[in-house]
Every structure is written in C-alpha cells, then in structure tokens.
C-alpha cells in the first residue's frame, strides 16, 4: 500500500489530502482532512484521475503509471499543487498548459504501459525457461508458448539420450529461447520509440503464439495472452491519440512542454 499526502491552504484554511493506493489490487482511497471522500478499485491499473471538491474548489488526484511504477499529483482548479502545498498559476494561459501537460503525461504513461507488455512477455518467457532448466514445474501464463515448445523438445532429447547430448540440448534450447525473447525486447524498445509497426508485428507474432496454446488446450494461458494483447493494442491506440494531440495543440500551449521519449 502506497501513501501520499498534500497539505495546502485554500481560502485561508489549511487542508490535508491523503491518498492510499494498493498497487497490487488497484484499490484507492482519498481522504480530505481525515474524511473519506472517494474509494474505488481498478483491477488492471493503468492510472486514473479522481475529482472532488474542497469548498468551492475542484481538486483532482492524478495517478499515473509507466507500467512499472506509479507517481501521484494533485491539482486544484486546474493548477498543480507545488511542493509546499501552494497552488501555483504562474502566468496567463497556465491553466490551459497545465491541462495539456496532464493530458500529455496521461497519454505518455498509458502508451509506455502498453509498450512495456513486450518486456513482460520476454522476461516471463525467459524466466519460464530458467525454471525448466533448473528442474522446476511451474510457468507464467503470459510467457510465450513457443519457448515452452522448445523446452519440451529439449526435455524429450535429454530423457532419450542423457549425458553430454542432454547438456548440449539444454544449452542450445536455452540459447534459442534467449534469441526468441530478445526479439520481443527489441519490439519493446522500438514501440517505446513510437514505431507503430513494432506494435503491429509484435502483436501478430504474439497472436500466432496463441495457436500453440490452443493446440495444447492451455485455456488459462490463452486468457492471459488475450489480456496482454489488449494491453499492447491499447498502447498502440494511445500512440495514435498522443500523436494527434501533439499535431493539433496550438504552439503557444506547447511552449515550455517537455515530451517524454
């Protein structure tokens, strides 16, 4: 459970806003001056915005993620709350820039979260192979079916011939799986560099991997493959939305904005 709090002064009164965020199960609670004002849960936690009022002021807690970590911000009437709790509308037009900045950050994090699925697929697939190599009997359902086929072939050869042949088979199988997972790492790198084709090709290959799972009747893994595919598709769709936002935003609002690569 992560906790974040802000102290701020509005209309001459001090207030405390507190956030409790369960990063595993997506539960979030928001308190204002010790009183619970919102409680919700998000199973697939890709971040969210939570709006509430303090007096006549509209406040929003922003939860953002890059797919691996979370960060939290508070805005009041569209303005970010500074480090010391001050609401800082520093210049004319800053409200528009602030709204654009939050929207940009939201899309960037959602897009990167989608691209990061390639890393999860690669990492868990390689971990499955390592577990097999050291004699384990469990596997992660998001991992690739093709690497498990390689492991199965290695197992047959090792059991049939044993000795040096088994050792060589294990080494070759592990090397092959490293190459396969490296391809998905490359897709992740290229996708985060905003190459849409990397999303498309990677999704096609991962979808084809489902055919192996269907042949094996591993329906649980098929379900989680579908979830991962949805995450990848969402990242690709967000990339299009992000590029459209950057193309249509007026130049004066873009001034001073830093786009994360």
Integer Cα distance of 44 and 113 in angstroms: 11
CATH of segment(s) 2-89: 2.40.128.180
pLDDT tens-digit profile of 230-249?
A: 989 999 999 988 888 777 66
Mean pLDDT rounded to a whole number for the chain: 82
What local confidence, expressed as pLDDT, does residue 246 receive? 76
pLDDT tens-digit profile of 180-192?
A: 999 999 999 999 9
* 189 contacts 119 by C-beta, under 8 angstroms: no
What local confidence, expressed as pLDDT, does residue 252 receive? 45
DSSP character at residue 43:
S
Where are the domains positioned within the chain?
Answer: 2-89, 117-243
What local confidence, expressed as pLDDT, does residue 121 receive? 92
State both tokens at 116: 């990061």
Integer Cα distance of 255 and 98 in angstroms: 11
What local confidence, expressed as pLDDT, does residue 203 receive? 95
* 259 contacts 193 by C-beta, under 8 angstroms: no
State both tokens at 133: 């190599």
- Segments in the chain below pLDDT 70: 66-68, 82-102, 248-261
Integer Cα distance of 24 and 1 in angstroms: 8
Closest CA to 245 of 188, 190, 194: 194
Instruction: Find the DSSP H helices in the chain.
Output: 94-115, 117-133, 145-161, 163-192, 196-216, 219-248, 251-254
CA 126 to chain centre: 19
């Amino acid at each position: 459970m992560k906790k974040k709090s802000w102290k701020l002064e509005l209309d001459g009164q001090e207030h405390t806003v507190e956030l409790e965020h369960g990063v595993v199960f997506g539960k979030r609670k928001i308190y204002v001056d010790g009183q619970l004002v919102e409680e919700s849960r998000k199973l697939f936690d890709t971040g969210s915005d939570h709006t509430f009022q303090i007096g006549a002021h509209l406040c929003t807690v922003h939860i953002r993620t890059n797919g691996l970590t979370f960060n939290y911000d508070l805005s009041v009437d569209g303005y970010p709350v500074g480090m010391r709790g001050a609401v800082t509308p520093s210049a004319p037009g800053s409200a528009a820039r602030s709204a654009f900045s939050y929207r940009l950050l939201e899309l960037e994090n959602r897009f990167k979260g989608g691209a990061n699925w390639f890393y999860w697929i690669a990492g868990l697939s390689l971990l499955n192979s390592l577990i097999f190599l050291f004699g384990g009997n469990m596997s992660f359902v998001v991992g690739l079916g093709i690497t498990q086929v390689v492991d199965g072939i290695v197992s047959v050869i090792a059991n049939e011939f044993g000795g040096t042949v088994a050792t060589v088979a294990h080494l070759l199988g592990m090397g092959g799986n490293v190459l396969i997972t490296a391809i998905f790492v490359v897709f992740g790198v290229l996708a985060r560099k905003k190459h849409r084709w990397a999303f498309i090709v990677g999704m096609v290959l991962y979808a084809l991997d489902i055919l192996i799972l269907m042949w094996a009747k591993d329906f649980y893994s098929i379900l989680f493959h579908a979830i991962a595919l949805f995450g990848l598709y969402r990242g690709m769709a967000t990339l299009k939305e992000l590029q459209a936002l950057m193309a249509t935003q007026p130049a004066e609002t873009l001034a001073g904005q830093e786009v994360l690569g």
